[in-house]
Amino acid sequence: MHATMMLDEVRQLLSQLWLGAMPAYSWSLTAGVIDVWRGDRHCHLRALLPVQMPINNRIPVEWLEMAVASVAHYQGGLAVNPEDGGVWLTRSVELDAGEPALVDAWLNLVEQRAVWLDQPTSRG
């Protein structure tokens, strides 16, 4: 019941965002955040992963392997913030795709993030 209530709240917030009633929303989660914001033609989503880019700026092979597998199964990409080394899963949804597409993208991003969190390389 609690998960259903949470999903209903997420759907309501995403609906408001989709309709332009608010420009952005951020969910604080264990070990990170998920941000969603509305642009002119797309809604953009990103999820912070609990890893940092190494000081030598070389992407670990394990991350590349996870990225390939992740992008093969989920739409979106992997991005590194050059200012702080934060690693983000990213996704965009065209506004023309409809509100259900945004909800699906959010749910897929949460699932994709959970897959990354289960990996030994993300646990430090």
Domains of the chain: 2-123 (3.30.1460.10)
Q: At what angle do helices 99-117 and 2-18 cross, to 10 degrees?
A: 130
Alpha-carbon Rg for the chain in angstroms: 15
Mean pLDDT (whole number) for 96-106: 94
- Residues making up the chain, counted from first to last: 124
- Residue bearing the bigger pLDDT, 90 or 60: 90
pLDDT tens digit string along 6-48?
888 989 999 999 999 999 999 887 767 899 999 999 999 999 9
Q: What is the pLDDT of residues 48-87, one digit of tens each?
A: 987 777 777 777 777 777 777 777 778 888 888 888 888 8
Rounded to 10 degrees, what is the CA torsion of 99, 95, 40, 68? 100
The reported pTM is 0.81
The better pLDDT of the pair 118, 100 is held by: 100
- Spatial distance between the Cα atoms of 4 and 50, rounded to a whole number of angstroms: 26
Nearest to 47 by CA among 96, 99, 10, 88: 88
Distance of alpha carbon 62 from alpha carbon 117, whole angstroms: 13
Angle, alpha carbons 83-89-92 (nearest 5°)? 105
